[in-house]
Amino acid sequence: MLVRKVASDRDRAAFARLFDALMPRVKAYVLRLGADDASAEEVAQEVMLLMWRKADSFDPARAAVTTWIFTIARNKRIDLLRRERRPAVDPDDPALLPDAPPAADQLVEQANSEERLRTAMRGLPPEQARLIAMAFFEDRSHSAIAAATNLPLGTVKSRIRLAIERLRRSIPD
Amino acid sequence: MPVLQPTHHPADEHLLDYAAGAASEGLALLLATHLTLCPECRRKAAAMEQLGGTLIEELPPAAIAADARERCLALLDAPEPAAESRSAVTAVTNPVSAAPLLPRALRDRVGGDIDTLRWSPVLRGVDQALLVEGPGGARTRLMRIRAGHAVPQHTHRGTEFVCVLAGGFSDLSGHFGRGDVAVSDESVDHQPTADADGDCICLAVTEAPVRLTGRFWRLLNPFVRF
Ligand SMILES: [Zn+2]
């Protein structure tokens, strides 16, 4: 587990391997959102540094590495490019209403769910997949998507709901 | 007494806006508040973030500077910047109890729990504390409706999101308690009334100023930026 090695042993070789795998993807993500090359490189590098500093907060039972990196990259680009604060849920907040702990078999399923999610994503009707991609890669809320595509708001909502329902059925709760 | 889970939730498209990072700052604050109080929506949002991870993996990798890795490795030992980012938390001035009323995202914003707030009166029985002002008159604020009082009847120019933090209120669509989210658009004309047994405190996000519709309030419309 590379992130573990980074967290517990401060293993630079493990970090370098994560860097090679993730840096080009994170930069591609920020470029897709409309940043110029220099800004995208800067944001992506910041994300890599955060990965080094926050490695001990990564919980493999809760999320895949790419999901964890996605959330760091998303927050960082809101912070650096939109210059806004990203309000987040603190899992250690005393105000948090706790969830029932997942059963052991659910955890195993969760670990295997990445591939199923990818397959489900490829199986989405193109008009649904397009709206999902716009939300993630164009910084557009669903109402902004409706405005940009000239689709009625109700159509955008129902397509998003259909897509989410379909994707959710592919992964365990 | 068992803590009840919310029964009124934001829709999938709102959670997607939040997970994708496309929600406005005010709406993100409201959704982080609901998610802190709603395990069910937390699971949904986590699944949507997983989707974000999958989408990043499928992107064709971008070309990076030849020395990018070297430069990054050299920075690993650099001291951590004092403020990690612009999203660094506001100093919490008041001590927080073991069971704070406000979730972390809101406490960071106001600098403490509910007792930190400075309320300003809006109308009889209704106070507010403004948190964020956005473009086009969008506003995010905490509202306090005194027990048994009603907010003047109004419709909405944009969408209005309300998340209850304490007490509860009722309108035509039902009763809302801690953690519940009410979403109202142009088609909703309502008069939320706080429960009789205590003040109702909620977080309200409006995309544009609401329009008062009651006969008397309509006259006030130009004067009251409600
Ligand atoms: Zn919920």
pLDDT tens figures, A122-158: 999 999 999 999 999 999 999 999 989 999 999 999 9
Of B5, B41, B54, which to mutate for an interface test with A (greatest number of A Cβ within 10 Å)? B54
Q: Which B residues in the span 123-182 are in contact with A, Cβ-Cβ below 8 Å? A: 159, 179
Is the pLDDT at A30 greater than 60? The verdict is yes
**pLDDT tens digit sequence for A101-126:** 776 666 666 666 778 888 899 999 99
Is residue A140 located within the same domain as residue A65? no
| Residue/partner pairs of A39-42 with CB below 8 Å, 24 or more apart | A39/A80, A39/A81, A40/B62, A41/B64, A41/B65, A41/B68, A42/A80
- Mean predicted confidence (pLDDT) in B154-163: 82
* CB atoms closer than 10 angstroms to residue A148: 12
Is the pLDDT at B92 greater than 60? The verdict is no
B22 contacts A167? CB cut-off 8 A? no
Is residue A63 located within the same domain as residue A136? no
Contact of A118 with chain B, judged by CB distance below 8 Å, is answered with yes
Comparing alpha-carbon positions, the chain B residue that sits nearest to A164 is: B12
B21 contacts A76? CB cut-off 8 A? no
Is the pLDDT at B87 greater than 80? The verdict is no
Domain end (from A85, A112, A142): A85
Sheet of B139-145, strands arranged across: B120-123, B126-133, B139-145, B200-206, B160-166, B181-184
- Mean predicted confidence (pLDDT) in B124-128: 93
Confidence of residue B212 (pLDDT cuts 50, 70, 90): low
| Contact pairs from chain A to chain B, CB under 8 Å | 221
Lowest mean pLDDT among A3-17, A46-60, B36-50, B205-219: B205-219
A142 vs B16, B44, B64: nearest CB:
B16
Whether A47 is covered by a domain: the verdict is yes
Task: Tell how far the Cα of A24 is from the centroid of ligand 1, in angstroms.
Answer: 35
Is the pLDDT at B210 greater than 60? The verdict is no
**Contact in structure between B199 and B146 (CB atoms under 8 Å):** yes
> How many structural domains comprise chain A?
2
User: Cα distance from B87 to chain A (closest Cα, Å)?
Assistant: 5
Q: CA B155 to CA B209: how far, in whole Å?
A: 10
User: Cα distance from A1 to chain B (closest Cα, Å)?
Assistant: 18
Interface confidence (ipTM) of the complex: 0.93
Whether A75 is covered by a domain: the verdict is yes
A15 contacts B73? CB cut-off 8 A? yes
**Contact in structure between B10 and B183 (CB atoms under 8 Å):** yes
A90 contacts B13? CB cut-off 8 A? no
* CB atoms closer than 10 angstroms to residue B77: 9
Q: CA B139 to CA B137: how far, in whole Å?
A: 6
Contact of B89 with chain A, judged by CB distance below 8 Å, is answered with no
Most confident of A104-118, B128-142, B149-163: B128-142
Lowest mean pLDDT among B70-84, B158-172, B196-210: B70-84
Of B55, B67, B164, B183, which to mutate for an interface test with A (greatest number of A Cβ within 10 Å)? B55
Q: What is the mean pLDDT of chain B?
A: 85
Contact of A141 with chain B, judged by CB distance below 8 Å, is answered with yes
Question: A8: domain range?
Answer: 2-85
The CATH number linked to A18 is 1.10.1740.10
Whether A44 is covered by a domain: the verdict is yes
Contact of B43 with chain A, judged by CB distance below 8 Å, is answered with yes
Whether A91 is covered by a domain: the verdict is no
- Establish how many alpha carbons lie within 13 A of residue A169's alpha carbon, considering only the half-sphere containing its beta carbon: 8
Comparing alpha-carbon positions, the chain A residue that sits nearest to B35 is: A89
Identify the CATH class of B104-220. mainly beta
Query: Which residues on B lie below 8 Å from A13 (Cβ)?
Result: none
Query: Which residues on B lie below 8 Å from A31 (Cβ)?
Result: 62
Is residue A72 located within the same domain as residue A139? no
Is the pLDDT at B161 greater than 70? The verdict is yes
Contact of B44 with chain A, judged by CB distance below 8 Å, is answered with yes
The CATH number linked to A166 is 1.10.10.10
Is pLDDT larger for residue A115 or for residue B46? Answer: B46
Among B220, B163, B225, B215, CA closest to B189 = B215
Is pLDDT larger for residue B97 or for residue B37? Answer: B37
- Mean predicted confidence (pLDDT) in B155-173: 88
Lowest mean pLDDT among A3-7, B36-40, B49-53: A3-7
Q: How far is CA B188 from CA A161, B1, B48, B157, B220, in A?
A: 22, 34, 29, 10, 20
Is the pLDDT at B89 greater than 50? The verdict is no
Three-state SS for A150?
coil
